[in-house]
Every structure is written in structure tokens, then in C-alpha cells.
Structure 1
Amino acid sequence: MDQVRPEASTNTVVDGKYYEVAKPASIAERLLIVARDRIYSDFLTAMRPTPSCTILDVGVSDVISDGANVLERKYPQQANLTACGIGEAIEFQAEFPAIPYVRIEPNARLPFADGAFDIVTSNAVLEHVGSADNQRAFVRELSRVGKKAFITVPNRYFPVEHHTAIPLLHFGDGTFKIACSILGKQSWTEQENLILMSRSLLRRLAEGIDRSTSVGYTGLRLGPFSSNLSLSLT
């Protein structure tokens, strides 16, 4: 889970800036761990994996911390997992040597056959793939290679924006741009880096896919202000 978009160079950690708010041992990291543990629980409930299910995790993090790669940290049948991401992920592979890792290209067809996995999952990736067309293509690719899919993203209506720690002003695009400009965080207003996600937007990205679709809240549960959103395709 937790993939980012910028292309990686040799031995470069590409996910670092996505964890700038959640510093190790900080309150933000503790909340992140709680949220991702709930996401993992909701993944199990929605997908109901059996011990023999094959699972692909698209966009694992090359940042190794207690808040990253929750599936790899918690899922008991590691031999049934396959991970992929856009970096070399040397630290990831050292941390999880039993899990095969496949390096992929941003916004390209996944190097797996149709229906190759029982379940495909991806956390905190969809908001970073660029345009709405890229997002739709990403959702379709996960649906293509997996018989079921579970996709999660940050909820733009969580009171504190995940990537910048800006409170409330991210509810509107205009106020978010102003706040980012004042704080020197303009890169987060660029579509190629971040598209803030809502339930309606997430639902639209799955239109036309011949699967049963469910959009819900996950992570820190605060009703419509919950920290994360989930899209289940079954």
C-alpha cells in the first residue's frame, strides 16, 4: 500500500514526503497506525480472504515504519502476497523477504494477466496517479488483474488534510490553494501530485466496471468526516 507517483532513481526512497506529517513516534503517526489498522480490519471484512487466496498489494511504501505497509505487517499468509511499486524498494524487500516484489511503471498496464489474483488492494495511491483519466484507468487495472478489489484513499473531509496537516481549509479547492501558497506547500495543489478525494468522486471512478460496487468510510471513524474512504469491487 501507500504508493507515490514520482519516479525513483537507484536506491532512492520515493515515499518520504508522504510521511512528513506522520513523524516517527509523533501523535500523527499514532493516529495513522490506528487508522490503518482499521483499514486492514475493514479489508478483511469486505474481501473475506481465505488462507489460499492470492493477494496483490499495488503501491507498497518504501518507507519502513509502524504506519506503513499494514497488510504486509499483519497478514498471516505472507507467501500468498505479492507487492508492487514504482521504486526499487530495497528497504521493503529487506523488511519483507518472503513477499515477492515487482517494480512497475507509473500509469502503465500492470504486468499481470487478467484475473491473476483473487484479491487486489491499494491504499493511498489513487489520489496520486494524476488526472481523472489516470484514476479511472488505475481502478480498471486493479479490477482487471483481481477477481475482487479493495481500494482506499484519504477522505478530503477529514478535519485535517493528510499530506499538509492543514485543518478545514482543504474542504474547498480555493481555500486549500491559498493555505498551501502561504505555507509553501504549493506542490500539493498540483493535480499530478494530489487529487483530494470524496465519496462521490470515488464512486464515479468505478462507473462502467461490471462489478458490485460499494463505497464506505474506513480508518478513523467520524461519519462523513472519517479519515479514509474505501471502494470495494466484488
Structure 2
Amino acid sequence: MICPLRVDMYCNNNTETALHAAIKGKHYDITLALLEAGANTNLVIRAYLDINEGLSCCSVEEDSNYGQSTGLVEACKNRDLPIVDLLLKHGARDDDCKALSIAVKNCDETLIAKLLSTKAHTDPEYKINKKMMTENVNCSHFPLFSNVTNLTYSALFPNNPTMINWHNQKCNLTQIKTQWLIDASLHLNPKLKQTPSNYDIALYAITRLDVSNNNLTSIPLALFQLCR
């Protein structure tokens, strides 16, 4: 069915679309309807320009910050996880890390993990070391996986090699948590979500990780264990 409406038309003094307004108002059903009608998730929210004065009603600094906002940024400001999920499902991107910056500022680890997981991609060059994974998964000296037993490889082991690009996230990222790595791997190996008790095994899918040019002061021990 073709939508007869121009869902991406700017309104409210040419500053935002209907999708932006729905997200700001936390209207999940309207947001869903607009997305299903083909609304663009990545259009920016514009600063209001007073035509009579020929000047923006915002200061230069406010105009710069406001003009960079998107629906995903607004959803993160609202800490609206259902709408964030909806936007990501429909192709919302955070290439300039504005949404991630909001999540980090709010210390919202759920949103941080969710946004970082979108920066995981299938590795076209390297493969998962299946031999090492199956040999070490039940080793007593590998505490991260000590609770994982009796696994069927085809059902519970990851098969999609994952490279994670967290280079220069522009959000004062000072730490990397093991759960964030797990969530990034699960993003490309969703079948593992069926067995929450075995989530840790998803770490073995990580073949490359770039965390350069951030403000990291520590990294999880799990990274060194996976280099065995």
C-alpha cells in the first residue's frame, strides 16, 4: 500500500518532521506508523530561522548543536528505549556519535551497549577460531565460561565472525565493559540470544576490535583471555 502522505515533510516552522515530533512526544504508536509508512529515520532537526529578522532564534552555539540533532538523539535524550529500538530496527544511524554522547553523559549503560552494538560488522577476512572455542569453553582455568556445559555447536555457538569498530567515538568513552562486547557480538549472532545463560560464548565471535583514539583508562580482562 502506498502512503498518500509526504511523511518526511518539514513542519513546525520548517524545523522538524512528523517523526521528530512523535519521538519527542514519546508517542510510540505514531512513531511506528510513520516508520512503517517509510519515514526517514536519519533526517536532521533544523534550527528555527526567523525570516523577518533573517537570523536564527538560537545562538550560534545552540544552532550548531540543535542542527545536529536527529530522531535517535532525541529518543536518547528521553531515555526512551522502545523508540530507540524501533529507530535502529528501521535503519537509524549514529555516525557522528551524537546519540552515544547523550547515553554516555547520562551513564545509561543499556543505551550505550545498544548503540555500540550497531558498530559491529561481519568480518570478511577472518574466521572464528572454532577449535580454540570448543577446547576452552569448559576449561576450569577459563572462568568466564565455567558455567557453560553440554553445548551443541550448531545450536549455541556463534558462526558469524564479528569485527567491532569503536574508533574515535567522540563521547569521552573511558571504559569498555564485557557486556558491551557481548551485545555487539549478539547483534550479528542473534540465535545465541535464545540461551541467555550462554551469552558469554558470543565473545568468541569477535575477530577484530578497534578502540583507538578514545579516552580509555581500562579494558576488560576478557579481551586478553580471548587472545589465547
Return the TM-score normalized by structure 2.
Answer: 0.26
Q: Which has the higher contact order (CA 8 A, sep 6+)?
A: 1
More strand by share: 1
More helix by share: 2
Higher Cα Rg, which structure = 2
Return the TM-score normalized by structure 1.
Answer: 0.26
